[in-house]
Chains A and B, each alone.
Chain A
Amino acid sequence: MANYSDLEYLRLSKGQRFAYKLGHFFTSIPSAIGRLFANIGRGIGKGVKGIGKSLGDIGSTFRNGDGITKGSFVIMGLGNLARGQILRGILFLLFEIVFIFYMVTTGAYWLSMLPSLGHQGPAQEYNPIYDTYVTTYHDNSFKILLYGVLTIFFIIAFIYTWRVNLRQAKINQEMREKGLRIKSGKDDLRSLVDESFYKTLLALPLTGIIIFTVLPIVFMILVAFTNYDGTHDGYFNSLFSWVGLENFNTMLSWEGGGNVYSATFGEVLTWTLIWAFFATFSNYFLGMFVAMMINKKGIKFKKGWRTILVLTIAIPQFISLLYVSKMFAKNGIVNGFLMDMGWIQTALPFFEKAAWARITVILINIWIGIPYLMLIVTGILMNIPADLYESAKIDGASGWKQFTKITLPYMLFITGPYLVTQFTGNMNNFNVIFLLTGGGPTNPNASGASGSVGYTDLLVTWLFKITTGAESKYYLASVVGILIFVVVALITLIVYNLLPSVKNEEDFQ
């Protein structure tokens, strides 16, 4: 791919310019990926350096510390308590006590079981007195994994807090030596509504995110390395254990028995991407088109048209989509109507054949998506500076030209990030597929893969089907989940690296 200077570029014809831009988009993908890895590498390097520095600092704190600071290594909060910061000191101390109590009572057990995920499964014994079988349950792999991970989180939190405690002891010691006033508990509290107000604001949301998002994700990632499924549920039937990379091997290897899975994965991924592309852009352009029609000067009942379209947003999808899917069934009212009118002799296979089903879901998705897009586009259109159009009119530009030269570029620029989220959102658009087709029609090539994959299944509906399917292969569901993440993350990163409008958030302020 040639690189043109500005002058050379301007000499190109329209088609050449487009080809040039398009080519550059794709040729920049490898470098974007390269940059990504470089960034990750740099991040890791920074982290390692940070830890090294931290260790050095801890060493020097100990060497230079007085008795109180040294004591803080064992009794957290000593450096605060002894120097008048009662509130902080008590919090530190309390945390240490709770941590030690937890570790001694239960934490140590979970941690020690984590490498094996349990030794003894349930056992059944015949009880002749009652003529019945009695079951005794023992270790619980699921709980071991869950609380093991929680314990590790807790230990990390402890180490971090311990480190903070040391730093404070050191600072307090230095300030005392220099004769400066040490902040009191009152100062701390006041700062929480002022310069450190952000800590107050973030405390609650971040706690929620850590417990209900980060922890579950870490857990489920770990599940991908075990054999946790319906017949190894870790408690009621048999324990599960670590299996290393075997599950990824099953899903991705191209040889041997794993063949069905890798082929299925490839097929589902391809359709997921096609679907996301069409679902996103068909809605985008048609929504824009509808919004412009309604907004056109001289069109009456603007509010009325909008309201009619918006009604579809208000009805929960599990009702409207289920009904729509029934409408397009072989003996549904759409086919019935067409046959009554004599336009067709036999029913159209809307959901029966792969290609038909795929096109049908994309079309029905337009029905769902246009109202949203219409609302958004309406808002943006109002914000386009009117003088742009004024000057265009003076230049005698036609309506079409105004659209391609002003409206569209403006829209694309403004909605770039929105398009990316829409795209990834559509990749995970569970409701539409699940309620309309349930993934069907079935795909004979994929029948051996867990979860009965169909031609309209997305990765995310497949994930759901594996989870709730006949064998409940949670470990495979996890693998699929991780792969979805990888794909979505790659797309997002690449596009974000190429999009101008997200790079500089300050530009808009």
Chain B
Amino acid sequence: MSKKNDYDPSEIQKRMGMKAKNRISNTVIYVVLVIMSIVWLIPFFCIVFQSFRVESTWMAGYVFPQKWGFDNYINLAKTDFWKWYTNTFIIAVVVAALQTVIVLCMSYTLSRFRFKIRKGLMKFMLVLGLFPGMLTMIILYRVLKDLGMTQANAVPGLILVYIASSGMGYYVSKGFFDTVPKTLDEAARIDGATRAQVLWKIILPMAKPIVIYTILTAFMGPWGDFVFARYISMNTSAGMNVAVGLQSWLSLDQINNRYTMFCAGGVVVAIPVTILFLCLQKYYVEGVTGGAVKG
């Protein structure tokens, strides 16, 4: 990355005297970065430490466990944790797949086609997006309930709600498609390709960063949803996602027995998301800069 990145005035710095100044400023930057890293990592490590604490199971006022062990992780298996984990994983995978398809359909269409209601449609969706999502929680619950998709069946219900409105998140990837030259499409059209073929054979292979970006964000979303998912699962353990399940361990009657397990569960949740994110970070950056801000 740094190779492309030569905006800073290296030429000028070659002059005598500047070198020393540069060294000082670099040292300052290192100090700042080290301090920042510590600040950023403290909560992370504290949570990990708590999860290895064996001597007590409630919230403790100290950071380092007196006795280390894997008890909390082992005990997770005795609860519904893995059920919640599986639920969330299923939701995340299905949502990632379907949401990506929908977002791509939507953004490609709005970027490439010029049809009568296009502008109106975009404005309409912009307006819809300005309503707070929290507002419609009650009614979505009732609709899903009438469809039999709440409580123990909350998983399909949540998938449905997550993907149903995902078309409105077309903005970032539309920005990306806007940067792909239209001449490519036109050339292919002249060669006799249908619109569908153009999308499938020409545009999609070029859109790898944005596809991965969309998958990544769609996959990460369901892991952290604890408000809406809680409403939909309505205290039924079988329908909870991992966030709702873990939150239930913080209620008054459970926190004293489950707090360290809560931390352990949190660490287990963070692992796949972290790995995925670190591996695909490059695409995240490309996607978001290529799309969100039309670089």
Contact = CB atoms under 8 A, between A and B. Distances in A.
SS class, residues of chain B in contact with chain A? helix
Given A311-B40, A316-B270, A220 B139 contact: yes
B29 interface: yes
Given A464-B227, A489-B127, A508-B179, A319 B6 contact: no
Interface stretch (B66-74, B77-85, B106-114, B232-240): B106-114
Interface in B121-150: 125-128, 130-140, 142-143
B285 A324 contact: no
B44 A212 contact: no
B132 A463 contact: yes
B39 interface: yes
A260 interface: no
Which of A371, A375, A397 has its CB near the most chain B CB atoms (within 10 A)?
A: A375
Given A311-B41, A314-B274, A478-B135, A509 B182 contact: yes
Contacts of B106: 201-202, 205
Nearest to A301: B33
A164 to B, nearest CB: 14
B206 interface: no
B130 A316 contact: no
Interface residues of B, number: 102
Interface in B205-254: 220, 223-224, 226-227, 243, 246-247, 250
Interface stretch (A54-62, A75-83, A326-334): A326-334
B165 A407 contact: no
B196 A194 contact: yes
Interface in A423-479: 424, 428, 430-431, 434, 459-460, 463-464, 467, 474, 477-478
A298 B26 contact: yes
Contact of A484 (B39, B40, B132, B199): B132
B166 A508 contact: no
B130 A424 contact: yes
A367 B134 contact: no
A505 B59 contact: no
B164 interface: yes
Given A298-B22, A381-B5, A467 B293 contact: no
Given A217-B131, A367-B39, A492-B130, A509 B293 contact: no
A198 B118 CA distance: 10
A314 B277 contact: yes
Nearest to A202: B109
A197 B194 contact: yes
B284 interface: yes
Contact of B136 (A220, A414, A489): A220
Given A316-B243, A467-B138, A393 B130 contact: no
B54 interface: no
A318 B135 contact: no
Contact of A212 (B62, B160, B178): B160
A150 to B, nearest CB: 9
Contact of A307 (B61, B136, B278, B292): B278
Interface of A: 142, 146, 193-195, 197-198, 200-202, 204-206, 208-209, 211-217, 219-220, 290, 293-299, 302-303, 305-320, 322-324, 326-327, 331-333, 336, 367, 371, 375-376, 378-384, 386, 389, 392-393, 396-397, 399, 402, 406-407, 414-415, 417-418, 421, 424, 428, 430-431, 434, 459-460, 463-464, 467, 474, 477-478, 481, 484-485, 488-489, 492, 501, 505, 508-509
9 contacts: A146-B143, A212-B165, A297-B10, A305-B33, A319-B270, A379-B295, A415-B293, A459-B132, A505-B178
